[in-house]
Amino acid sequence: MELLSMHLQVPNSFFLVYIQVIILLWISCFNLKGLSLLGLAHAATVVGGNDTDLQALLQFKAMITGDQLKVMNSWNSSIHFCQWHGVTCGRNHRRVIKLELQFLKLSGSLSPFIGNLSFLKELNLSSNNFYNQIPQEIGRLRRLEILELSNNSMTGEIPSNLSSCSKITFVSMRGNQLTGEIPASLGLLSNVKTLGFAINRLRGSIPPSFGNLSSLEALILRSNALSGVITEDIGRMTNLSFFSVGENAISGVIPVGMFNLSNIRIFDISGNNIQGTLPSNLAITMPYIDFFSVWGNQLSGKIPISISNASNLNALQLYQNRLIGNLPSLEKLDKLSYLLLGTNHLGNGREGDLNFLCSLVNNTKLESLDIGTNNFGGVLPECISNFSSSLQFLAIENNKILGRIPHGIGNLINLGVLQVSQNQLSGPIPLNMGRIQKLNRFDARYNFLTGTIPYNIGNLTGLIFLALGVNNFQGNIPSSLGYCQNLLVLGLSYNNLSGSIPTQLSGLLPTSLGSCVRLERLFLGGNLFEGPIPSSLSSLRGLVELDISENNLSGGVPEFLVNFGALQYINLSFNNFEGVIPSGGVFKNASAVFVEGNNKLCGGIPELHLSICNSKTSSKTSPRFKIVIVVVVVTLGVTLVLSIVLIIWFRKKKVQQPISTFAENSLLWLSYQSILKATNEFSMRNLVGSGSFGSVYKGILEESGVVIAVKVLNPLDHRSSRSFLVECETLKNIRHRNLVKVLTAISGVDYQGNDFKALVYEFMVNGSLEDWLHSSTGISELETMRKLNFFQRVSVAVDVAHALDYLHHHCETSIIHCDLKPRNILLDEEMVGHISDFGLAKIISADELNSPSKVSSSLGLRGTIGYAPPEYGMGSELSTKGDVYSYGILLLEMFTGKSPIDERFREGLSLHNFVKAALPERIVEITDPILVQERVRRGTPNVNNFRNDRYLQCLNSLFGIGLTCSAESPNERIDMSDVVTKLCSIKDKLHPTRVPREVPT
């Protein structure tokens, strides 16, 4: 009746329309062919609504390729499209005004017909999996007010004609894969209040036209690849309250106008390359600021005193900068939850540096406090025991802090992470630490802590990581550690612990003691343990790393260790083990097994270089020795026969086809498409690093599972093509264990027709030497701090020297690397050093080496400031002596821990002169403090004794080589072949013949 009464109002077309409806219904009932979207559209128009809107919705549905929740099933002819899921129409005109389909697990492309919904005010497709480009037709939606496309997989560029949507107030496209630049035309959106393009791949700079957005309240651009500088134009956005451009590549200084944004509440420029200082009147010009984050930049100077008046502050994140001086009182910051100041140069290394901590005792909301890796000195004040019980994260590591861990630390009952390592703390661990039931990480390595490890530490049942190595603890390991069921890492190396290894660590214990069967890393080296390895440890099948070196342990090496499938590293060095060493499991990998200093061990794989077991030793070790011998002899006989047959067969096959692994075959045929898949479409999560000529991504090949590193050249930099050719030419004919292996090169076009050039290398799991020499920890990091010990540094130095010697003297034509620095030294899983990045290399023929004319450079000045030899800057010829200079600086950096571009090396002072002035009397002062503490903890508690041992003699020789190599005149520098000889001699003086990879102590 409703249908009839509606049509009675239009009598001239009543019968025609009525007949059309009847025919369509009749066709539908009998499921006849010919029913079309056009027919449905016309039927819906009759019922009420607009044919254009219906067509647009049907086209939108047609491009949906995935609908896990089946929500699009409601989009059918049985109901009016205004009643379809997610569709809202106006009351009077029955036109679509809202399309809300967020969080529905939809996938597909966005139809350009969306631009025909001319009455649309709100489009919300967030948190789905829409892909491909955002159609330009969205710019036709003149009534659009809200555009929400966040958390999808949209690609391509931001539509420039979005500026035509003059009524728009909210735009969010965060969490997609958008590329290109931010259109300057968006500066015409006079009504927009929020612009959000975070977590994409946008490049270019922030358009100056954004200064015209007088209504803008939130500009969120973090986690892209934006560059350029922040201009004064941003300071004209007077209503701005949320400004976030963190984790980009923006440089320059913060313009003064930015600090005049009186309405700003959230200010985030973290993770960029911004320099300069913070304004002295910060809290005055930004009175409402509650989130201030500038971490990961190069800001210098002091923290302004005015910050103490920012009473609304909830988070102050200043870590990873170059800030200096002491902190003002923070007493008025009673709303502060996060105070993160780590990795700066704060403090003066003396008493009084930590006074500001006591001004925080009345703060009831403090959750995270990080002052680690600074220059704070003085005694750790007792007042930290009075911090709010809301504190969950406390980090003071890598400073010069003295005194004891306050007894009242147990009052911080909600503490989850306590990091106090690499200080000068003394005294015992407070007994009441057992009250901190939520503690999951306690790191107190590299201090002077004494006494016994408290028995009630077993009350901390949530412990995951416990590292107390390199201290002066005595007594036994408390059996109560068996209660720590979740313990994954236990580091107690280099103390004075004695007794036997407690069986309670095994899991074979009474129910009341619990178990530690989840333990993955156990480090007990450098103590006084004795007796055999208990059989009860056989239940620790999840062990990944085991270090019990430098003790007095004896007996045989248990066979059950062979069955530990996860075990990747075992160090039994310098004990009194005897008998046959197993040959299965982890013991098959010589690079993972360390058994030096056990003179009574025999057997094992040949790579371990142990003596052959005699019958007496073998029978003593294994009662079934005779049976084993028979089995071995029979097996060898069968193997010999099979080997002869296989050799003959392979010789016949060799002529017919070459032999190569599947991985090698797959790498030879890599394409742009395969690289795209391997790197998850060059995801920012896969980005390993970037340089002047391109970016490096980690990738996993889909078919073979091979892990690769892909260096993608920047097509916009004309020098990158030259660099690509240079690197290809350099690497195609060189092979050395200490050079990064190039697997293939790709030169073609991408899906947009742009030039695409990439080099594929073997992936180095331990990153660059730069990361290990100058690593830092974030507030949520639960991984072991990455520090290289003395032996590892010597080994890497030898590796690099061998590689340079090969390039200079053992290639068909000499090769000059031209850019040697820690970032170009990569470390594999065995911590072996490899030289990488030959984009600036120069191949020098014998004639050129002997020619008095200069070797020209088509890539401009070669090398990196601080590492490039001085003669290159004066236009002198390229030579192998230039690499020698860079190596010398690298060597000095490795053992001082100081970069040649450190701020202290100014006004004539250099790293070379800094070391030269200190030798030989003040060698301890210039040595990396990590290495000094390492030696002190290894049995030389008096630093004066440190001046008379073999360790010092080796260190003095290393500095001498570094100084000779980095001499100002090329004629004074020695040859790399001489460097290799000298370094190998130094290494031979140190007892390990193979250096173990890094383990937490």
**So where are the chain's domains?**
2-145+161-170, 450-622, 630-659, 662-763, 767-1001
Average pLDDT over residues 127-138: 95
Give the burial class of 381: count Cβ atoms within 10 A of its Cβ; 0-12 exposed, 13-18 middle, 19 or more buried: middle
Q: Looking at the DSSP assignment, which residues form a beta bridge with residue 538? A: none
Q: Kindly list the catalytic residues.
A: 819
Sorting pLDDT into bands at 50, 70 and 90, what band is 3? very low
Largest CA distance in the chain: 116
Residue 371's pLDDT band (cuts 50, 70, 90): very high
Residue 13 clears pLDDT 60, i.e. is over it = no
CATH of 662-763, one of 3.40.470.10, 3.10.180.10, 3.90.230.10, 3.30.200.20: 3.30.200.20
What is the pLDDT at residue 6? 36
Half-sphere exposure in the Cβ direction for 378 (13 Å, CA): 15
Pairing between strand 489-491 and 96-100?
unpaired
Tell me which of 139-143, 806-810, 929-933 is least confident: 929-933
The stretch 670-677 carries a mean pLDDT of 81
Which among 289-293, 519-523, 738-742, 872-876 has the top mean pLDDT? 289-293
Mean local confidence (pLDDT), 105-114: 95
As a residue count, the chain comes to 1001
User: In the prediction, which pLDDT does 862 show?
Assistant: 61
Least confident of 549-553, 564-568, 845-849: 845-849
Burial class (CB in 10 A: 0-12, 13-18, 19+), 275: middle
pLDDT at 330 over 90: yes
pLDDT: which is higher, 70 or 633: 70
Q: Is there a contact between 600 and 574 (Cβ–Cβ < 8 Å)?
A: no
Distance CA 466, CA 57 (A): 59
- Tell me which of 179-188, 216-225, 834-843 is least confident: 834-843
Candidate ranges 107-116, 467-476, 596-605; pick with highest mean pLDDT:
107-116
- For the cut 70, the answer to whether the pLDDT of residue 996 exceeds it is no
CATH fold of 450-622:
3.80.10
Per-residue model confidence (pLDDT) at position 287: 85
Domains 450-622 and 662-763 share a fold: no
| pLDDT the model gives residue 218 | 95
Residue with more model confidence, 538 or 116: 116
pLDDT at 725: 66
CA angle 871-900-843, nearest 5°? 45
pLDDT tens per residue, range 63-92: 999 999 999 999 999 999 999 999 999 988
CA-CA distance, 915 to 596, in Å (whole number)? 34
Mean pLDDT of the chain: 81
CATH 1.10.510.10 for domain 767-1001, yes or no, is: yes
CA torsion sign, 287 to 288 to 291 to 293? negative
The tokens of 810 are what? 């053992």
Omega of the bond leading into 920 within 30 degrees of 0 (cis): yes
- At 762 the pLDDT is 85
Selected residue with higher pLDDT from 733 and 742: 742
Query: Which H or E run includes 936?
Result: helix 929-937
Q: Which architecture, in CATH terms, is 2-145+161-170?
A: Alpha-Beta Horseshoe (3.80)
Q: Are strands 441-443 and 545-547 parallel, antiparallel or unpaired?
A: unpaired
Tell me: pLDDT of 844 over 60.
Answer: yes
**Contact by Cβ (8 Å): 689, 712:** no
pLDDT-derived band of residue 692, with 50, 70 and 90 as boundaries?
low
Three-state DSSP class for residue 411: helix
Q: What is the pLDDT of residue 993?
A: 40
